[in-house]
Amino acid sequence: MNKRIESGISRRTFVKAASTAAGSLLVGIHLPASSEQKKMPLQQTVMNSFIRIDNDNTITLLANHSEFGNGAYTIMPMMVAEELDVPYEKIRLEPAPTRPEYYSPIFREYLTAGSVTTGSCWIPLRTAGAKARAMLIDAASKKWDQPSETLHTNNGRVFSENGQLSANYGDLLHTIHAEGIVPPEKVALKDPSKFKILGKPARRHEGSSKVDGSAVFGIDIKLPDMLYGSIARCPVYGGTAKYYDTSETLKIPGVIKVKELSAGVVVLANSYWAALKGRKALKIEWVEGANSSLSSDLFFQEYRDLAGKPGIVAENIGDSIASIKLSDNVIESVYEMPYLAHATMEPPNCTALVTNDRCEIWSGTQSQSNDQKVVAKLLGRPQESIIIHRPLMGGSFGRRAAKSADFTVNAVEAANGEGVPVQVIWSREEDIKGGHYRPLFVHKLRGAVDDEGMPIAWHQTVVGQSIMEGTRFAPAFMVNGVDLYSVDGCLQEPLGLFPYGTSYHIPNHRVECHNPPKIGVVPMEWRSVGHSHTGIAYECFLDELAAAGGKDPLDLRIALTKDNPRMHKLLKLLKEKSNWLKPIGKNRGRGVAARVYSVSPIAQVAEITMSDNGEFTVDRVVCVVDCGFAVNPLGIEAQIEGGIAYGLGAAAFGEIELQDGQIKQSNFNDYNVLRITQMPEIEVYIVSSDQPPTGVGEQATTPIAPAVVNAVFNASGKRIKRFPLAKSGLKLV
């Protein structure tokens, strides 16, 4: 990293506003997406951010990234605090308004997704902090008539050289306004060797409020005269209410009203319990429609058939078809992955108030500008009249970035015409049965190894519903008819917006895909998106090729990454830290998998113990990650542990099954998630790096499933190709 980093941001892009009443200073930094920045990797593209300093010395960061357990509310103030010389805990966070100046140049909208928050904030927020500090020193210099180079800052105060004069930041605002001080055009950022905050373990900024119960999530919103809504939804996707009888519902104390919405029939009441009871008392005759015959088994069969046919070519390096045809050592496999629910701890919810001139929304959303546009269109009102307040969120994993803005629309429709706030809460059953899901996928793979046992050819066909086709993102994420998220994690070379490949080099490499029409079930991003299925198929089949060629699976990966220095180094470190060469013992197995998601290379070794009856435990997971400069090592460890838990639970027993157009699962009794007793011991090793920071929010979810499956083979000789593992008779205990 350079000893001196300068930013050539024009001072015209800064906003300085003074409030006579509050005596505050708003220092903003707006870095538009220039043509050069558009060419940069996603994680290095800059964004907008604003810092507000008040005369009572309160420092507020207007955050345009959502906090849903991802640590955004910790790393953002850390970056500002480092350059501003204040404790990061002292910086307040306030969700930025839903206005274009706060849009992310990465997505061209107000959206938190893709594990890009850390990387995209790195230079802009540090620069904003440094420029604010420079203004404060300039103010003290003028106030005390001392050279600015003799002054220094510490803990939110400016000091003279001898320490006899000092002032906190709020005391200097009057001088800044009186003297017309503006931010400097260029500012030197701290050398990492001088960091006091960045790179040091930091506890979660909002963590204490979650522990003591003072944190406000969407489900905690309480407003005067608020009503609660519970929606009866057709059990079949796309179905509608033909007739409904409200007689029993209206007898329930607290029930106020029943009306139809686009999602079904809503019961409004003065408590959620009354609304829920009222909904259960409704008598509804549904028109199930064309989707009543859909089933997972039907999709699997259709996708298997498609996998055997030529698809759209996403990548064609060398000539895999000819190489496989000429080889005497060919391996074929089909991997099948089911629909998956997001199953967030806090189910979807939203509160809305619709008045004559505006609509106010309290919603835990990742995608504020999308929700604002959807609601504006729904109500036929100007977009600026839709005001979104963003509370904390109890998990998301992609669910709260729904392009349909479904749970937000539910509340707005329920509140429209009522004149009071209405909160609509999805029950756990509604979320599991009527949510949006990680699509069902089938992967067909054929490969060949040469006389030395090295993979010489790879041919993969991916079949599953497109997430991006027909969406607002389609122009960027659909390349020659290929949904990048369907094949992300399969390609050796960068494609479209994704500036990274698998990190492996196989001389003949062909990937094709089929994206069947969207019928009934709504497909959606799920933590790690494409890697949630491509990672399993790719890493498991790579192990199959290793076995066919008589190669150690970890050594093979090290050999295949010799042209990728970061992953190559990572895998060598993983071999050391996991004690890979140490005998594992009877009834035990060890497996490896490695992925590159959102620029960050990550690799894991899983150790398991198996019994003869199919029960197994995951005893130890060793994870090595290279996410560039580690802004908050403690936060990185937490994200990796959470990602492993999420991916392991899904691999072991995660499955949404469709039968006769209806979802069979309903709650955590039949859509299992990982229990604390099933959590393995986890060791996290962060590679020291002077590269810019990149994401970790989704990375750890990607390798854990294939690492465990490869460990199952190592322990038992059994290859698992249909998921979840419970479907193959394996039980995680």
* CATH number, domain with residue 310: 3.30.365.10
664-677: pLDDT as tens digits: 999 999 999 999 99
How many Å apart are CA 32 and CA 230, to the nearest integer?
A: 43
Residues 181, 251 within the same domain = no
Quick check: 24 pLDDT over 70?
Answer: no
Confirm whether 617 is domain-assigned: yes
689-701: pLDDT as tens digits: 999 999 899 999 9
pLDDT tier for residue 41 given thresholds of 50, 70 and 90? very low
Quick check: 243 pLDDT over 80?
Answer: yes
Q: In the prediction, which pLDDT does 31 show?
A: 40
pLDDT tier for residue 470 given thresholds of 50, 70 and 90? confident
Q: In the prediction, which pLDDT does 182 show?
A: 87
Residues 153, 271 within the same domain = no
pLDDT tier for residue 472 given thresholds of 50, 70 and 90? confident
Query: How many distinct helices (H) and strands (E) make up the chain?
Result: 18, 31
Q: In the prediction, which pLDDT does 46 show?
A: 27
Residues 421, 545 within the same domain = no
Confirm whether 403 is domain-assigned: yes
Confirm whether 41 is domain-assigned: yes
Q: Average pLDDT in the 371-399 region?
A: 96
Residues 266, 235 within the same domain = yes
Q: Residue 698: count other Cβ atoms within 10 Å of its Cβ.
A: 28
The beta-carbon contacts of 471-479 under 8 Å, at least 24 apart in sequence, are 471/403, 472/370, 472/403, 473/403, 479/314
Q: Which of 31, 28, 26 is nearest to 59 (CA)?
A: 26
Lowest mean pLDDT among 289-293, 417-421, 604-608: 289-293
Residue 88, token pair as written in the block: 């990061």
Q: Residue 545: count other Cβ atoms within 10 Å of its Cβ.
A: 26
Residues 634, 714 within the same domain = yes
Residues 35, 161 within the same domain = yes
Confirm whether 2 is domain-assigned: no
Q: In the prediction, which pLDDT does 28 show?
A: 57
- Number of domains observed in the structure of the chain: 3
Residue 61, token pair as written in the block: 């960061």
Confirm whether 3 is domain-assigned: no
pLDDT tier for residue 40 given thresholds of 50, 70 and 90? very low
Residues 205, 231 within the same domain = no
Quick check: 30 pLDDT over 90?
Answer: no
Q: In the prediction, which pLDDT does 5 show?
A: 26
179-200: pLDDT as tens digits: 999 888 899 999 999 999 999 9
Please, what is the average pLDDT of the chain?
91
Confirm whether 430 is domain-assigned: no
Residue 248's domain comprises 218-289+348-425
Strand bridging mode 283-287 / 240-245:
antiparallel
Q: Average pLDDT in the 71-92 region?
A: 96
Which of the residue ranges 20-24, 27-31, 473-477, 659-663 has the most confident prediction, judged by mean pLDDT? Answer: 659-663
Q: Last residue of a domain, which of 178, 212, 246?
A: 212
Residues 511, 419 within the same domain = no
Confirm whether 336 is domain-assigned: yes
Residues 70, 156 within the same domain = yes
DSSP symbols for 568-600? HHHHHHHHHHTTTTS---TTEEEEEEEEEETTE
Strand bridging mode 731-732 / 615-625:
parallel
Residues 225, 94 within the same domain = no
Residues 315, 329 within the same domain = yes
Residues 398, 442 within the same domain = no
Q: Are 433 and 232 in contact (CB under 8 A)?
A: no
490-536: pLDDT as tens digits: 999 999 888 899 999 999 999 999 999 877 788 999 999 999 999 99
HEC sequence for 312-325: EEEEEECCHHHHHH
Q: Last residue of a domain, which of 212, 233, 262?
A: 212
Q: Last residue of a domain, which of 403, 425, 447?
A: 425
Confirm whether 558 is domain-assigned: yes
